[in-house]
Structure 1
């Protein structure tokens, strides 16, 4: 039977298959916590040793007062008061010093553990396969790296060291109470049954509720991020009201879990406070009876009541921080969850053997049950040039992202050298295959720093060669400080065409063997684009190039052309063969020639 009847947990609405990153199970979380404890065992041992000394010093005061009460009761207090005051003050001084030292070391330990946790999460996150991140979306990963880290910060900085300290304090105080009077040690536990029952009721509900609360916030973050990122599309398709309703529903679900966890705390906290009062009251009352019957002395009663009172603070710390750890545990499970994604480095299927790119019966959809690509198979030989052409909305860019390892196919496989491309770590994918599209970003910093993102060890000679390869050396040399010119927000403004050339220069420096070019020269005028493509052709010699283009001169220069229509490859062959076939490509070619 539940401890109380009242608020019920929010109902969980049925939803489609989740795309969020996994949440670690209890076994994984415990294993990770043990690993952190081993990594920082010296820090924990130092904190516990310092606070044990402080606790032992704190036990001196009640013992001195109890002895003084016994002396006063026996009428033999002459010459005992001043030494008692000296012992009391000395113990208090020692306790204060060591508490300060333990808190200092505890804070340092918390920061070190938190730094390790952040670094572990970041290292594992950037190593995730691009397909996994694409399916999860930005909202989930961002909320884990921000909100969950922030929620866990308090637990790691304060809860973990103080919880260890509180457990040590309870053990030492109970030991001192048993040595003082076993009877009083029993009476101090009179409130324990109520404490155990109420805590069991609370902690059976709290972990799941806090995890649901964190997941609810992540869902809100995801919906908002998607709406902002696709703001123009939302306006164009008049989806504003629908997105607002979806956001309101997600916020409502999150707030419902917030209210439920608040209700759990409002029931449990007063019950815990009642057990503290019951323990001190029981010790004082029953201890008084024991003293009247002569089973214990008045001094023992004084010491015992003070020790029982001293138990309140560490027990309260244990429960309070354990409750805080429920929030932290939910966030930790989400952070550690990225470790449950199969490590691409240890997966033999993620290691390519060769450079042949192959798509086998690939299907893909942005929504469940609504495919954009329908059973596409494509074999790209190393060093060949393949052009993907077709009408807008046919699925060319989607296919390009699959071939570049950005998306993972819903069905079928995309392999590079026999290895699943979507299962490779991001760093390996980018070293093998690079995607350049119309979306370019100029980072805040110097032009040199922007270029070195692709190759950190490149010297100025290599940087200038890369700029020259994409016809960008002219405007780059004309900048006020050349490669040292600050660009990006707050610096020298680059035109969209220059930003596109900068992205292509990075591509030259990255030097991947396979390139996917999705309208990579679309922001340049046709004549400049044609000149740049001729310049790039010299740089790209010997590489595998998959070009997605509306300007069909790119297709004309390709070894083979794949015509994509309605998510399928309708034609495949060389330019002369397809023109002679008088099919969809021939119609596109004639239309493009007529427009020129």
Structure 2
């Protein structure tokens, strides 16, 4: 039953929805230490300001205890004692309040600033590290897991970084100083506080033995929900075409049920911990008052010391509650941090900086590749693409055309065999060097928030306006671009002008023209255009891409018709190789495809 035991299904099951790793505790600790080292001055300033604020807050109990001690020591003349000491005590008390108020404001301000700076560092570190990952790793991870990390996990961490880390430091300093003050002002009462420690330790030990794994499963469960929903939305047309709606809904409902089960379980854990904390607070105050009362009756301490000790013990409620509250928050944050820091455990795609192509010959030599262990998508594929050749990859869906294209573009590394450019192995070259020679353009295009000019200059930052217009003209996009009110300065993307899918595809192809690589891999690069517009665009691109090596995954066979060489891919192998007329004459698989498509 949820609320007493964890969900009966395998807690590790949701984590299989992702291929991005979760950071090990050592990795998380190392990153936290690194963050604190970066901001050590701000952290030390926060601790110092907090120390002054706590010391000022302790002045009230100390002054009140002294006043009670002096008043109780008068022989019926309590009024005289008040007249002598009351004005000074009130003045010192008000001064302490002013100092405390000023420094508490500084504590909150410095804590918020420190948290925001660390959160900004975390976001930037995650983005930089993610962009530097091998493209194949990101593709295999899928959009759901990556999206949940950069959104949900960052949101969960935002509160922790802004408040939990500074507040936890404040709470620890606060509790230590109050305990120190209790030892100094009323030493006999200090052991009374320890009576509540076993209860607090037992409750926290019970909770924190269960909470981390529960929060990890909760986070993984949410990631699996996000992955299922994102995949269903992205492949909406496929789901409708194959009538998979009920199956996808059932999958989403099952994953939501698993996620909410973990949510209820973690809520139940907190519902046990919080009453334990409340009982601990009552125990601390009650033990100080009862033991202190006995000491006063025996004359071992005065009433003033008991007053000071009771007030300081009461003040311990706030820092202890603060520590436990934010430590619990950090249990959630720690899981999100481990998910974000996990990308640091993947080796960046550094490659061999000394490796450079000695030419433009693209060669796949006895290549094997599979997305899963023991299941190859490509088997013993060998192919040579001389410089300036236009190669079309054709074949039925699922034959391995796009996979072969990504291998030729250096996105994936073969399991066995070699893919080389000018004799240099693509998988061993740095990603930036590969992209300077070979570019991959597929049907998924992103319009970034900013001006149209900024979107184009992603390919080449120093491009002038004349070059930008020329690139747009090369892909037949200058017509609609010149019709925009602000031209290249038009804001596009989220919050700006929404480009149509076809326009976004043209912007991506214009970037390709600006990047000017000598080898291109085009995977359905014109799929979002209607056939007539796609044909016209491909003719325009043909003039721009002259003398370049082009590998086109052809779903429209007129692309294959115009190619120099056609490779027919079936069941992960190249079964036919030649130009259009040769393959039609052979009357094999390509000829059958051509007759089917051409009628």
TM score, norm. by length of structure 2: 0.88
Give yes or no for contact 1:350–1:420 (8 Å, CA) kept in 2. no
Aligned to 1:11: 9
Task: Single out whichever of 501-510 and 240-249 deviates more from structure 2.
Answer: 501-510
Q: What is the root-mean-square deviation of aligned Cα atoms in Å? A: 3.3
By how many angstroms is 1:252 displaced? 0.9
Aligned to 2:49: 50
Task: Single out whichever of 558-567 and 28-37 deviates more from structure 2.
Answer: 558-567
Match for 1:84 among 89, 104, 111?
A: 89
By how many angstroms is 1:91 displaced? 1.1
Per-residue CA distance 1:348-384 (angstroms, 9 max, x = gap):
3996545554445555567887655444333434444
Match for 1:564 among 558, 569, 578?
A: 569
Segments of 5+ residues of structure 2 without an aligned counterpart are none
2:62 is the alignment partner of 1:63: yes
SS of the aligned residue for 2:275 comes to helix
SS of the aligned residue for 2:118 comes to helix
Give yes or no for contact 1:126–1:426 (8 Å, CA) kept in 2. no
Aligned to 2:22: 23
Looking at structure 2, the residues matched to 367 and 394 of structure 1 have their Cα atoms a distance apart, in angstroms, of 16
Give yes or no for contact 2:481–2:488 (8 Å, CA) kept in 1. yes
**Measured at CA, do residues 290 and 160 of structure 1 come closer, stay the same or move farther in structure 2, by a change above 3 Å?**
same
Give yes or no for contact 1:132–1:422 (8 Å, CA) kept in 2. no
SS of the aligned residue for 2:122 comes to helix
Looking at structure 2, the residues matched to 404 and 457 of structure 1 have their Cα atoms a distance apart, in angstroms, of 25
Looking at structure 1, the residues matched to 354 and 257 of structure 2 have their Cα atoms a distance apart, in angstroms, of 41
By how many angstroms is 1:445 displaced? 5.8
Aligned to 1:115: 120
**Measured at CA, do residues 317 and 522 of structure 1 come closer, stay the same or move farther in structure 2, by a change above 3 Å?**
closer
SS of the aligned residue for 1:32 comes to helix
1:429-448 to 2 correspondences below 5 Å = 429-440=434-445, 447-448=452-453
Aligned to 2:523: 518
Give yes or no for contact 1:127–1:427 (8 Å, CA) kept in 2. no
Aligned to 1:290: 295
1:294-309 to 2 correspondences below 5 Å = 294-309=299-314
Aligned to 1:175: 180
2:343 is the alignment partner of 1:338: yes
Give yes or no for contact 1:350–1:423 (8 Å, CA) kept in 2. no
Give yes or no for contact 1:188–1:308 (8 Å, CA) kept in 2. yes
Looking at structure 2, the residues matched to 87 and 473 of structure 1 have their Cα atoms a distance apart, in angstroms, of 76
1:84-233 to 2 correspondences below 5 Å = 84-233=89-238
Segments of 5+ residues of structure 1 without an aligned counterpart are none
Give yes or no for contact 1:357–1:379 (8 Å, CA) kept in 2. yes
By how many angstroms is 1:84 displaced? 1.6
SS of the aligned residue for 2:316 comes to helix
SS of the aligned residue for 1:561 comes to strand
Give yes or no for contact 2:52–2:100 (8 Å, CA) kept in 1. yes
By how many angstroms is 1:223 displaced? 0.4
Looking at structure 2, the residues matched to 445 and 266 of structure 1 have their Cα atoms a distance apart, in angstroms, of 47
SS of the aligned residue for 1:80 comes to helix
Task: Single out whichever of 117-126 and 348-357 deviates more from structure 2.
Answer: 348-357
1:120-519 to 2 correspondences below 5 Å = 120-345=125-350, 347-348=351-352, 353-354=357-358, 355-362=360-367, 372-406=377-411, 414=419, 429-440=434-445, 447-473=452-478, 476-477=481-482, 482-484=487-489, 500-519=505-524
**Measured at CA, do residues 121 and 302 of structure 1 come closer, stay the same or move farther in structure 2, by a change above 3 Å?**
same
**Measured at CA, do residues 375 and 100 of structure 1 come closer, stay the same or move farther in structure 2, by a change above 3 Å?**
same
**Measured at CA, do residues 233 and 405 of structure 1 come closer, stay the same or move farther in structure 2, by a change above 3 Å?**
farther
Looking at structure 1, the residues matched to 500 and 56 of structure 2 have their Cα atoms a distance apart, in angstroms, of 71
Give yes or no for contact 2:393–2:568 (8 Å, CA) kept in 1. yes
By how many angstroms is 1:113 displaced? 1.0
Looking at structure 2, the residues matched to 66 and 227 of structure 1 have their Cα atoms a distance apart, in angstroms, of 68
TM score, norm. by length of structure 1: 0.88
By how many angstroms is 1:121 displaced? 1.1
Per-residue CA distance 1:64-98 (angstroms, 9 max, x = gap):
11111221121072511222222222212211111
Give yes or no for contact 2:17–2:223 (8 Å, CA) kept in 1. no
**Measured at CA, do residues 262 and 493 of structure 1 come closer, stay the same or move farther in structure 2, by a change above 3 Å?**
closer
Per-residue CA distance 1:149-206 (angstroms, 9 max, x = gap):
1111111111111111111111111111111232201112210111111111111111
**Measured at CA, do residues 361 and 286 of structure 1 come closer, stay the same or move farther in structure 2, by a change above 3 Å?**
farther
Looking at structure 2, the residues matched to 121 and 204 of structure 1 have their Cα atoms a distance apart, in angstroms, of 29
Give yes or no for contact 1:447–1:486 (8 Å, CA) kept in 2. yes
Aligned to 1:72: 71
